[in-house]
A and B are shown apart, each in its own frame.
Chain A
């Protein structure tokens, strides 16, 4: 018994060492750093307790970043998941040109986010960009998509959904492919409608996949900011500043490491809370076969 325990720990050791060295220890370091001021010119940083946190509470840009991120998450997560499911259902059946369609849906995922952002920069160009040209045919006017505070964040959300839906589609497609056909036959014998079958059989069986996709979508909503860096840099007037971008800016542009550490702790807390909600609450209701 003891021997087995030792074996188990030895097997876990490599992963554990990596996790502690690159995830847990830095997180603890960050927590400690968030209690100190930013060091200046070689002097050691003085301990300031929770001052960084109270400063953050009074920082309007922080609240705007938080609000932006909430909107961004609330829009990208459901939109990309629903779109992914619809696309997976569309390319699951026997359909001429099916693999070409699958490839088309998956293409955005294969492109690096930087490339995607540059393509969309052209789409969003005012006057002669793709969107303004197409809208122009229908009598639409000019849109300064990225330069207008009202449309900049929705524009970023659209890029994220476009980029992510294809990736999530793959998981749904894999799940749909492994679904036994006898269920469908049985349902057909019972005279169940297609919608009923989808709602009562397909959707519940897809729940484990949905949970997995949801976890990924939530993480991405806080983690992927490459398009912000390329397209708007958080502007205009912080309209597209997301939490992680704000951390990057404070940490690496302003070198205000204490505030950046404090922001990081806030982000970690948000992610920990959502992880707990997802696995603790939702996870229990997911039916694994």
Chain B
């Protein structure tokens, strides 16, 4: 009886609403998102969607689609097949290649009122670096990070190092990492000094930070040129290789991104280079005191930004695009950004988020949560060019060849440059 009345009221209100309004009201949105770190991120995102539905009545279906490159593949495939999501969280650095695909709609084309423009100006400029092209804005910062070092204070103490002073130069870092190596009676290494990810999808990020540390940019703004064979880039590669070859502080060959956190938690690696988005996960799981430090540099600390932005697809109807944009505004609001930062470790995307009581209180209690943000001024943008995935693959193949000892740094970088020049030739002409 009750249910029937409810049904009657609903249909009555539906009938009462003007037909045009009904057609424009989007009740259902779908987006894809990646998870690149440990911890219950999917549950957090589902929680936001539920809260949004309660607030606005719009059901947002968040689809976990794997890591960054898998999410990219799935989103593009689905859109080409005509069943894609209306928006997605994808690598911020994919802007040029998503434009190659011709599937994006810019925020300007969705429609930005003055209020929305103020909102866009509220983000950290470093996080908007990969969002502008052709005088338009193409994405909204969401899960943004910089690369940081996580280090075991216990291992520092055990090796006679001061756990509150983390090295800031390459030479000091290599020296510290070598001291952190622990061997058993037979000479077998039981703890490595440092590990950095060299697998496909992550090597270019690790390397982006290293190149910036040598004060070399890897590409131009238009994404049509790379600088892999510059002397400073080669120097960055040589430093990475030397950690294993010369200093014996890192294992030979390639270390996998997904293996770094378990290695660190197991005590198998004393220092790992990882995303700040992994902070809360490590805080919850580490059985030993650990510290967060900004990356070192050849002469002074430098790092790289990373992470994902929200992109909108022109396969969505105009009404859906606007609904998606409303959701993006809601989820990037200071309170949500602060909550997301607290629960993951990702850097909150706007200075306003750091003014919220929740985040202020959290940072006071857990100062490590503020480290990554203070390194934003020395962070560069992630490698971002046309045919991004192909260039990543080429660069990664050569990095891996070098890490495996089958190519010298100079050889590897010159090969990467040659192949990338070939890949980017059509875009340079245009």
B393:A253 contact, CB within 8 angstroms = yes
B398:A237 contact, CB within 8 angstroms = yes
A148:B253 contact, CB within 8 angstroms = yes
Q: How far is the CB of A234 from chain B (nearest CB, A)?
A: 7
Contact with B along A170-186 (1 / 0, CB 8 A): 00000000000000000
- In the complex the two chains form, what is the Cα distance from A104 to B401 in whole Å? 39
- For the complex, is A102 an interface residue (Cβ under 8 Å from B)? no
Q: Which of A117-140 contact B (CB under 8 A)?
A: 125-128, 136, 139
Contact with B along A130-172 (1 / 0, CB 8 A): 0000001001011010111100000000000000000000000
Task: Name which of B72, B73, B77, B253 has the most chain A CB atoms within 10 A of its CB.
Answer: B253
A147:B254 contact, CB within 8 angstroms = yes
Q: How far is the CB of A138 from chain B (nearest CB, A)?
A: 11
Q: How far is the CB of A122 from chain B (nearest CB, A)?
A: 9
Contact with B along A222-253 (1 / 0, CB 8 A): 00000000000111111000000000010011
Q: Which stretch of B186-194, B287-295, B325-333 is in the interface?
A: B186-194
- For the complex, is A63 an interface residue (Cβ under 8 Å from B)? no
- In the complex the two chains form, what is the Cα distance from A237 to B256 in whole Å? 13
- In the complex the two chains form, what is the Cα distance from A136 to B401 in whole Å? 27
B393:A249 contact, CB within 8 angstroms = yes
Q: Chain A residues near B393: list those with CB within 8 A.
A: 249, 253-254
Q: Chain A residues near B69: list those with CB within 8 A.
A: 253
- In the complex the two chains form, what is the Cα distance from A158 to B262 in whole Å? 24
- For the complex, is B162 an interface residue (Cβ under 8 Å from A)? no
B189:A236 contact, CB within 8 angstroms = no
Q: Which residue from chain B places its CB closest to the CB of A231 in the assembled complex? A: B256
B389:A253 contact, CB within 8 angstroms = yes
A252:B73 contact, CB within 8 angstroms = yes
Q: Chain A residues near B263: list those with CB within 8 A.
A: 127
Q: How far is the CB of B88 from chain A (nearest CB, A)?
A: 16
- In the complex the two chains form, what is the Cα distance from A253 to B189 in whole Å? 37
Tell which of B252, B253, B397 touches A238, judged by Cβ atoms closer than 8 Å: B397
- In the complex the two chains form, what is the Cα distance from A41 to B102 in whole Å? 6
Tell which of A125, A148, A253 touches B404, judged by Cβ atoms closer than 8 Å: A148
Tell which of A146, A149, A249, A255 touches B406, judged by Cβ atoms closer than 8 Å: A149
B251:A126 contact, CB within 8 angstroms = yes
- For the complex, is A96 an interface residue (Cβ under 8 Å from B)? no
B389:A254 contact, CB within 8 angstroms = yes
- For the complex, is B230 an interface residue (Cβ under 8 Å from A)? no
B268:A236 contact, CB within 8 angstroms = no
- For the complex, is B400 an interface residue (Cβ under 8 Å from A)? yes
- For the complex, is B368 an interface residue (Cβ under 8 Å from A)? no
B387:A254 contact, CB within 8 angstroms = yes
- For the complex, is A42 an interface residue (Cβ under 8 Å from B)? yes
Q: How far is the CB of B327 from chain A (nearest CB, A)?
A: 27
B200:A233 contact, CB within 8 angstroms = yes
A235:B188 contact, CB within 8 angstroms = no
A237:B73 contact, CB within 8 angstroms = no
Q: Chain A residues near B109: list those with CB within 8 A.
A: none
- In the complex the two chains form, what is the Cα distance from A126 to B256 in whole Å? 11
User: Contacts A144-B252, A236-B254; is A255 near B397 (CB within 8 Å)?
Assistant: no
- For the complex, is B199 an interface residue (Cβ under 8 Å from A)? yes
- For the complex, is B106 an interface residue (Cβ under 8 Å from A)? no
Q: Which of A49-80 contact B (CB under 8 A)?
A: 61
B102:A236 contact, CB within 8 angstroms = no
Q: Which residue from chain A places its CB closest to the CB of B406 in the assembled complex? A: A149
A147:B189 contact, CB within 8 angstroms = no
Q: How far is the CB of A281 from chain B (nearest CB, A)?
A: 38
- For the complex, is B259 an interface residue (Cβ under 8 Å from A)? yes
Q: How far is the CB of B223 from chain A (nearest CB, A)?
A: 15
- For the complex, is B266 an interface residue (Cβ under 8 Å from A)? yes
B76:A235 contact, CB within 8 angstroms = no
Q: How far is the CB of A77 from chain B (nearest CB, A)?
A: 28
Q: Chain A residues near B72: list those with CB within 8 A.
A: 253
User: Contacts A125-B259, A147-B253; is A234 near B200 (CB within 8 Å)?
Assistant: yes
Q: Chain B residues near A128: list those with CB within 8 A.
A: 266, 268
- For the complex, is B403 an interface residue (Cβ under 8 Å from A)? yes
Q: Chain A residues near B414: list those with CB within 8 A.
A: none
User: Contacts A127-B190, A142-B188; is A237 near B404 (CB within 8 Å)?
Assistant: yes
Contact with A along B24-42 (1 / 0, CB 8 A): 0000000000000000000
Q: How far is the CB of B420 from chain A (nearest CB, A)?
A: 13
A233:B201 contact, CB within 8 angstroms = yes
B251:A237 contact, CB within 8 angstroms = no
Q: How far is the CB of B112 from chain A (nearest CB, A)?
A: 25
A233:B102 contact, CB within 8 angstroms = no
- For the complex, is B255 an interface residue (Cβ under 8 Å from A)? yes
Q: Which residue from chain B places its CB closest to the CB of A252 in the assembled complex? A: B73
Q: Chain A residues near B268: list those with CB within 8 A.
A: 127-128
- In the complex the two chains form, what is the Cα distance from A235 to B197 in whole Å? 13
- In the complex the two chains form, what is the Cα distance from A153 to B57 in whole Å? 52
Q: Which of A253-276 contact B (CB under 8 A)?
A: 253-256
Q: Chain B residues near A127: list those with CB within 8 A.
A: 189-190, 263, 268
Contact with A along B193-213 (1 / 0, CB 8 A): 000001111000000000000
A-B contacts, 6 of them at CB < 8 A, read: A127-B190, A127-B263, A144-B251, A149-B253, A237-B400, A256-B390
The 6 lowest CB-CB distance pairs between A and B, nearest first, are A147-B254, A147-B253, A236-B400, A144-B253, A237-B400, A237-B401
Query: A147-B255, A236-B198 are known contacts; what are 13 more A-B pairs with Cβ within 8 Å?
Result: A40-B100, A139-B186, A144-B255, A147-B253, A148-B252, A148-B254, A234-B200, A235-B199, A235-B397, A236-B254, A236-B400, A254-B390, A256-B390
